[in-house]
């Protein structure tokens, strides 16, 4: 087995099954592999030195682009809705309308702030966002092996792209599904484009993008990375799937949520701020181990 799977942060309900999936994927070859990953709190760190790191939305919310009054309102929304997002005692169906409400209210507040497109790069540069340790190997290795990486995020696409661009890892194998800002001809934010992606409708988002999965139909083996139970549906558009290995970062409310993560993710990484385990799996699957 991969030695990193014995790390203290790794939990698996069925290690034997993980082994079987990995062997089957290795046998099929890395030219049949695609990677689908969430962004906020999956590719980015949840915390650094005990302090929470920002999501794409938080980056804008805490920036000079918006008024202090608006920051306050967005913080109130976060304080109200985030505990609902991660509450494992409430059924998802009950949470969906509330998540739509959160994203809709937050996007409306942002649009009212007349945000300028050319300021996004500055705001990202000044933010405290951090990709997880080992991100260079993850992005660069997938690129070198021509393995498609789909980043599927309920965050803000423009901010997400800027983060990976500034980190030097927005390679040609990366594709992003996310919420994109719409700007007028003077570069002012006027709306968000297309269908809203929130934390619990990634299945619908995947099914709207059949063209992408059609292009990748020769890659029926999937490595999925997420941090929310909503991320488990990111691969629902994959055609004729053969194997899927689901790796879940459990960052917050560990005790309450551990069992539900163990039941749904094949490999659960508890309070692990690094890409060490996903990287080890990726190296194994590409024959570099």
Q: Hey, which residues are catalytic here?
A: 38, 40
Binding-site string for ligand C5P from residue 3 to residue 42, where x marks contact by CB under 6 A and - marks none: -----------------------------------xxxx-
The site for ligand C5P, by CB under 6 A, has a size of: 17
Report how far residue 131's alpha carbon sits from residue 274's, in angstroms, rounded to the nearest whole number.
Answer: 9
Contact flag: residue 273 with Mg ion (CB under 5 A): no
Contact 274, 134 (CB under 8 A): yes
Residues within window 93-122 making contact with ligand C5P, judged by CB under 6 A = 102-103, 106
> Which option in ligand C5P, Mg ion, none does residue 58 bind, with CB closer than 5 to 8 A by kind?
ligand C5P
Binding-site string for ligand C5P from residue 176 to residue 205, where x marks contact by CB under 6 A and - marks none: -----------------------x------
Report how far residue 131's alpha carbon sits from residue 226's, in angstroms, rounded to the nearest whole number.
Answer: 14
Minimum distance from CB of 42 to Mg ion (Å)? Answer: 5
Contact 85, 99 (CB under 8 A): yes
Minimum distance from CB of 104 to Mg ion (Å)? Answer: 19
Residue placing its CB nearer to ligand C5P in the complex, 41 or 247: 41
Residue 114, φ and ψ in degrees, nearest 5? 50, 55
Minimum distance from CB of 227 to Mg ion (Å)? Answer: 4
End-to-end CA, the chain = 11
Binding-site string for Mg ion from residue 203 to residue 242, where x marks contact by CB under 5 A and - marks none: ------------------------x---------------
Contact flag: residue 127 with ligand C5P (CB under 6 A): no
- Residues 44, 45, 46, 51: what is their CA dihedral angle, to the nearest 10 degrees? -130
Give the DSSP letter string of 171-221. -TTEEEEEEPEEE-TTSBEEEE-SS---TT-HHHHHHTTHHHHHHTTT--E
**Interface residue list for Mg ion (CB under 5 A):** 38, 40-42, 227
């Amino acid at each position: 087995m991969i030695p990193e799977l014995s790390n203290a942060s790794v939990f698996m309900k069925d290690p034997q099954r993980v082994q079987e999936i990995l062997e089957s994927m290795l046998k099929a070859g890395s030219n049949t592999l695609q990677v689908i990953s969430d962004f906020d709190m999956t590719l980015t760190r949840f915390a650094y030195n005990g302090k929470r790191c920002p999501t794409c939305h938080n980056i804008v919310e805490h920036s000079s682009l918006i008024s202090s009054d608006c920051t306050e309102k967005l913080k109130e929304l976060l304080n109200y809705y985030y505990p609902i997002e991660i509450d494992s005692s409430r059924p998802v169906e009950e949470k969906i309308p509330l998540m739509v409400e959160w994203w809709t209210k937050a996007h409306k507040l942002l649009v009212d702030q007349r945000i300028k497109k050319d300021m996004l790069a500055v705001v990202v540069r000044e933010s405290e966002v951090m990709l997880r340790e080992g991100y260079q190997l993850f992005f660069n290795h997938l690129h070198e092996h021509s393995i498609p990486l789909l980043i599927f995020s309920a965050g803000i696409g423009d901010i997400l792209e800027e983060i990976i661009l500034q980190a030097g890892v927005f390679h040609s194998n990366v594709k992003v599904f996310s919420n994109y800002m719409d700007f007028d001809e003077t570069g002012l934010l006027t709306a968000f484009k297309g269908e809203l992606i929130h934390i619990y409708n990634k299945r619908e988002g995947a099914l709207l993008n059949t063209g992408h999965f059609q292009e990748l139909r020769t890659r029926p083996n999937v490595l999925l990375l997420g941090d929310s139970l909503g991320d488990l549906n990111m691969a629902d558009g994959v055609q004729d799937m053969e194997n899927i290995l689901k790796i879940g970062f459990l960052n917050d409310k560990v005790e309450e949520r551990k069992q539900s993560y163990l039941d749904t993710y094949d490999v659960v990484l508890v309070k692990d701020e690094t890409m060490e385990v996903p990287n080890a799996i990726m190296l194994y699957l590409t024959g570099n181990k």
